[in-house]
Chain A
Amino acid sequence: MKALRCVMAATAVGLFGFLAAGHEAAAQIKIGSVLSVSGPASFLGDPEKRTLEIYIDEINAKGGINGQKLQLVVYDDAGSADNARTFATRLVEEDKIVAMVGGSTTGSTLAMIPVFEEAKIPFISLAGAIQIIQPVRSWVFKTPHTDKMACEKIFADLKARNLTTIALISGTDAFGKSMRDQCVAVAPGVGVAIAIEESYGPRDSDMTPQLTNIRNKPGVQAVVNPGFGQGPAIVTRNYRQLGITLPLYQSHGVASKQFIDLAGPAAEGVRLPAAALLLADKLPPNDPQKSVVVNYSRTYQQKTGQAVSTFGGHAYDGLMILVEAMQRAKSADPAKVRDEIEKTKGYVGTGGIVNMSPTDHMGLDLSAFRMLEIKGGDWTLITGT
């Protein structure tokens, strides 16, 4: 029974350690973050976390903000909105953060919003859905483009190619479902008809039945696949397996070199809307975003050894918008910082040029998205749309 006592002692020590933690005094600016570092959305949370850590270090190495060092407190919600809510409370109550950059998914962001609204702490979300900033909430901002914009960008490209009848195949995960809803809502207004809709589970390993139904549907001129993670890679492979030759559109959810690696040769000719970040070196030298995206992708690749994704870019933008607001406010006071975030004008980030206002807490327009096509295993920019 000695072992039993050891276990009990260890548990007690662990619990007291937990109670004691978080009470260390620090004259630092504490920035909080809750990200889906593990779990089904880990390919969002993982690069986001790495990005925040890299740049907090870099800022501190240069002397910090307003003479104070930054301290980052990150928690992993493992993709659960319930966990996210608990960690949000912990950040506010225990860690006493002054600002928050995080929330990898829409679900966890929506679950955390009430905490930060009540505590009056600025919250810059890294999730996609438009519900986060519509209606406008005074303390909530976001950096990624909305799903709605992705749909509009895709539809604009379809119209330019005279393709008006499409099929939708989307993931049943949060990202796929949310973008699917936006696309269905936007389609009639721009004269695009959705002839058939199919879906797949986020972990499915074969989508040929759904694609067979799409192939057999008469009149379909193009296929759009809102989704992220492994699903779109398998859809793309199955698409070629079935020999479908219609144009295939993926979403900004696959905006990472990894998609090309996973889908392999099947990815040839696939189009998708994405931020300028993916093109980095290929952007024309006069592009206003050129230096930002080149610097970010080089830094990220050097420090992590992994290819850059737009998700990490969202975290970069969130952090930089926050830091610049703190510099302008000459303070880390949450209320002053909030006011300055709202006044962000002409911030050039990885996702586009951000112009916020009291009625727009994202500040991006459609020009932030570029239409890309995969050619020869790499992204190429489609001009003209």
Chain B
Amino acid sequence: MRNLLEIRLLPPLAVAAIFVTLPWFFPSAYYYRIGALVFIFALAVAGLNLLMGFAGQVSLGHAGFLGIGAYSVAVGPAHLGMPSWLCVFAGAALSAIVAFLVGRPILRLKGHYLAVATLGFGLLVAIVLTNEAGLTGGPDGMTVPRLLLFGWSVRGSDVWYWITGATFIVGFVLALNLMKSPTGRALQAIHDSEIAARLLGIDIARKKLAIFIISAVYASVAGSYLALFNGHVTPDVAGFLRSIELVAMVVLGGMGSILGSLVGAGLLVVLPQALTIFHEYEQALLGLILIVFMIFLRRGIVPSVAAVVSGWRK
């Protein structure tokens, strides 16, 4: 039993070790910024991965929850006078409620039909954020006041690196625990065969809805962090391309692997920065790299590499 626990917690511990030691090699605040962005997106992707990798449900509108979280910390302080930290929680609660209301009807849809329904949801959020300029500042976006914690103003990429990294590791452990819980096992059964799961007496609709809400909360917190970190938020945080990017991070890193979420987010945050040396060709190369990765590591980076490593052991 003790052994099992240790194996389960090995990946988050490894991530934590890297997280703490990596800054020794950071030459400037820019690297802290990239690190923080990786953790922010990894958090959102981890949530989406629970939905896609474990429950087998696709969402092409997850950036909508990113947007709700981001605009909560922008609109809350500006229009309601709420402190930012409270808005992070309020945003998460709002996302959970929205996920509950939206999820109930649309999670009955399957496969690509669910994809198009979630896509519609994401677009609705983006349209509202763009059009309600009085509240959200419209397409130009709005300024987000800095996070105040115990009278201390949170600023600087290095501080945000620590906050986002710590949050991701907490999210990582929670996700792992969820997977191993009875709910998690039930979800995996849904993924394998929905009808078989139903025959086993699993309340599919409720389990799916629960995981949809959890994944929405992950994305919402990530969105709040992103907005607070940037100090400015625009509606493209909730855009269709952002949703696609999140799905790409899940698939690239490996569906069903939370560690993969970190790797996928890391790759798609760092890659555009690295590819700037190719100037004009950066986008074409990004597309090409995506294709090559999916051809050669078709189960995602982490699961494929893990399979190779265990193959070597044998």
Interface residues of A (CB under 8 A from B): 1, 3-4, 7-8, 11, 14-15, 17-18, 21, 38, 75-76, 78-83, 85-86, 89-90, 92-94, 105-107, 110-111, 114, 129, 131, 172-174, 177-178, 181
Contacts and interface: CB of A to CB of B under 8 A. Distances in A.
B277 A94 contact: no
B293 A81 contact: no
Contacts of B293: 7
Given A3-B296, A86-B33, A90-B273, A81 B234 contact: yes
B232 A114 contact: yes
Contacts of B143: 110
Contact of A178 (B140, B283, B292): B140
B273 A110 contact: no
Contact of A86 (B28, B273, B283): B273
Contacts of B28: 93-94
Given A4-B297, A7-B297, A111-B141, A18 B273 contact: yes
Interface string B122-159: 00000000110100001111010000000000000100
Q: Interface residues of B toward A: which range?
A: 35 or more
B236 A131 contact: no
B237 interface: yes
A80 to B, nearest CB: 5
B213 interface: no
B237 A82 contact: yes
A93 B30 contact: yes
Given A1-B308, A82-B236, A89-B29, A17 B277 contact: yes
Interface of B: 28-30, 33-34, 37, 130-131, 133, 138-141, 143, 157, 226, 230-234, 236-237, 267, 270-274, 276-277, 282-283, 292-293, 296-297, 304-305, 308, 311
Contacts of A181: 133, 138
A243 to B, nearest CB: 30
B129 to A, nearest CB: 11
A172 B141 contact: no
Nearest to B271: A14
A269 to B, nearest CB: 30
A82 B230 contact: yes
Contact of B270 (A18, A21, A172): A18
